[in-house]
Structure 1
Amino acid sequence: MGSETNLTLQDVAWHDAVGRLIETLDRPHFWRSMARLLGRYVPMDNWVVLIFGAGRPQVLAESQDEDGGSDSLFQDYLKGLYLLDPFYLANRESPKSGLFQLDDVAPECFEQTDYYQRYFRLNVVADEIHINVQLDLDRTLSLSLGSHCRFSQEQVALLRLIQPWVAGLMRQRCVFEQEIKRTPEPAPDWQERLQSPALQISAALSTREAEVAQLMLSGCSNKEIARKLAISAETVKVHRRHLYNKLGIKSQSELFLLFLQAQD
């Protein structure tokens, strides 16, 4: 007597959908089809496919706004706000494949950061998950899923279950993705921005002060900055005080405003 099968109709539907998705690997609408498939199982409000690397992120595909156009706030992200993105920073620090939740990469005071206040809560809104595929030492293909509410444990578990399928399809798509072959735009230089003559800064920041400024803008606490730079928390405080004096400011919010001015 044959053994019982535990295959459900939902399993059959998933495998059928993946088969159909494979058929579109060389089609322009592949990423939209993948996002639509994932949305059947894990509701999302926005998505984007990026190449994280040494330069400015490359956008391969993104969800559209209600008018069918590109999200204007996301353009600010590409102009420089990505430098404050915890997912981007985590990938630059330790690039690897896998599924990453916001809680895995966000600093302990994330909701108090300018990145959260000026971009994340307005664009992504509540939660974000990335499925990353490391292409080589310098480049990572990343599928970002954003939601207006927190992803549930069940939804995250399901994404982890199907992540190998999704990652495999993402990697196979690279064969047909011409955008990946282009040389990425160089990333803006933090120290150059913070020393811009347009800001009328009287004294240039040292390399270490610029590093501290970047980590501050990313939402890192003094303790986290100390750990990342292998210096003491007291030394971090000294660098903060010096860079504030040099820039003629008194707060982290003022530092962020200088950063935005230097983008223009």
Structure 2
Amino acid sequence: MGLQLQDIAWHQSVGRLIETLDKPLFWVALARLLQQYVPSDSWVVLLFSRDRPQVFAECPGDGGPDPLFQDYLQGLYLLDPFYIASREQQFAGLLRLADVAPECFEQTDYYQRYFRLNVVADEIQFNVPLEGERTLCLSLGACQPFSPEQIALLGLIQPWVMALMRQRLAFEQELLARPAAPAPAWQHRLESAGELTARELEIARLMLSGGSGKEIARRLGISAETVKVHRKHIYAKLGIKSQSELFALFLQAQQS
């Protein structure tokens, strides 16, 4: 369905949505309105910060907590391209997976064991930067890649969506005031276990999130050959031989 500025149904729907700003089901109503124009299969509203993500609302499930999403909140979020992007540079607006995913993202254990099972195929995210290096995010996941037309449509209504997200914060003060759980100290555990340097830990995280050797080299201002040397040292210190084994150690560090 194409959306025009004179679309009466859209304006009526936004009017009704504004009336629910102070209601518990606001986020559900917003997600449903977006799905009328751009179909999606899942959604979640998160607050990204230096601590663990805080969940404002999520797509209703079939009953009981989603174990994959719980794994995400426990520590897998550290490998989420959207989370990494929000921490490296706060961005206001609409982000696509293609905008933030590293070159080798689809070959990572994170993608194979979490993303493609939980998010499935594609993800887009509305980002609202806040004070304190925090970002309010509304993410939509889909079984099929979002089309250029759908992305353009979301871009058209982006000002409405972001304004509503900001206005909703006035009614989320209890959650905003609640201390977030501290980020998992996996770096410290791997550092003590294998005596990894700060640079090696950084490269390990970039590897796990899908960065290719060339991408990591560009990001850190070093040569691709130096990245290879660091990777060799990381594997030797940790007594492993593959990135899958490194991912397994990463998971163990979240649980210990």
Name the TM tier (shorter chain). over 0.9
The runs of at least 4 aligned residues of structure 1 exceeding 6 Å deviation read 7-10
Given the superposition, is the C-alpha separation of residues 249 and 161 from structure 1 closer, same or farther in structure 2, using an over 3 Å criterion?
Answer: same
Residue 233 (structure 1) aligned with residue 224 (structure 2): yes
**TM-score (normalised: structure 2):** 0.94
The percent of aligned pairs where both chains have the same amino acid is: 69
> Post-superposition shift, 1:193?
3.1
CA deviation map 1:207-262 (0-9, x unaligned)? 11111101000100111111222222111111111010000001111100111111
Residue 71 of structure 2: aligned partner: 76
Task: Give the alignment of 1:52-67 within 5 angstroms.
Answer: 52-65=48-61, 67=62
Aligned to 1:187: 183
Structure 1 counterpart of 2:22: 26
Structure 2 distance, partners of 1:27, 1:69, is 23
Unaligned runs of 5+ in 2: none
Q: What is the TM-score when the length of structure 1 is the normalising length?
A: 0.92
Q: Deviations over 1:27-51 (max 9, x none)?
A: 1100000001101001010000000
- With over 3 angstroms needed to count, the CA separation of the structure-2 counterparts of 1:103 and 1:9, relative to structure 1, is closer
Q: How far apart in 1 are the matches of 2:218 and 2:38?
A: 36
Counterpart of 2:22, as a letter, is: D
Inter-CA distance 8–81: structure 2 relative to 1 (3 Å threshold): closer
Looking at structure 2, the residues matched to 189 and 232 of structure 1 have their Cα atoms a distance apart, in angstroms, of 29
Question: Is the 1:126–1:149 Cα contact (8 Å) retained in structure 2?
Answer: yes
Q: Is 1:115 equivalent to 2:106 in the alignment?
A: no
Q: For structure 1, which runs of at least 5 residues remain unmatched after alignment?
A: 1-6
2:159 is equivalent to residue 164 of structure 1: yes
CA distance in structure 2 between the partners assigned to 1:173 and 1:9 by the alignment: 23
Distance across 2 between alignment mates of 1:8 and 1:130: 22
| CA-CA distance at 1:9 after TM superposition | 10
SS of residue matched to 1:144: strand
Matching residue within 122, 125, 129 for 2:120: 125
Question: For this pair of structures, how many residues does the alignment match?
Answer: 252
CA contact (8 A) 2:186 2:254 kept: no
Give deviations 1:79-100, integer Å, cap 9, x for gaps.
0000000000011111121100
Superposition CA RMSD, Å: 1.6
Q: Do 1:190 and 1:210's aligned partners in 2 also have CA atoms closer than 8 Å?
A: no
**1:64 positional shift:** 1.8
The Cα shift of 1:181 comes to 2.2
Among candidates 206, 209, 234, match of residue 243 of structure 1? 234
The aligned counterpart of 2:199 is 208
Structure 2 CA distance, aligned partners of 1:37 and 1:168?
15
SS in 2 for 1:77: helix
